[in-house]
Amino acid sequence: MQDYIIEKTRMKPAQRQEQERFEQMINLLVIYKQFNPTMDIFLSESDINKAIPWYQKMTSAMSNLSSEEINQMTNAIQST
């Protein structure tokens, strides 16, 4: 991991930005899959386009939850 961090700091700003955007897409698809375990999720434009509005709805809904409710939801996801 440390080698990766060093490599990333050596990247040109545009290249680093592109890498971070890619990592964000991967993370989004992982979260999307965790919340939708029965769905087949792929690293594709189609699935990214489904995951983005889903994530926006989830974060909007979560803003109305208490921290205890968010912790319970997080724990339930992590135990699957």
pLDDT digits (tens, 9 = 90+) for 10-60: 999 999 999 999 999 999 999 999 999 999 999 999 999 999 999 999 888
The token pair that represents 52 in the structure block: 């983005």
* pTM, to two decimals: 0.73
**pLDDT value at residue 1:** 77
Q: How many residues does the chain have?
A: 80
What's the chain's average pLDDT?
90
Q: Tell me the DSSP string of 40-56.
A: ---SSHHHHHHHHHHHH
Distance of alpha carbon 25 from alpha carbon 10, whole angstroms: 22
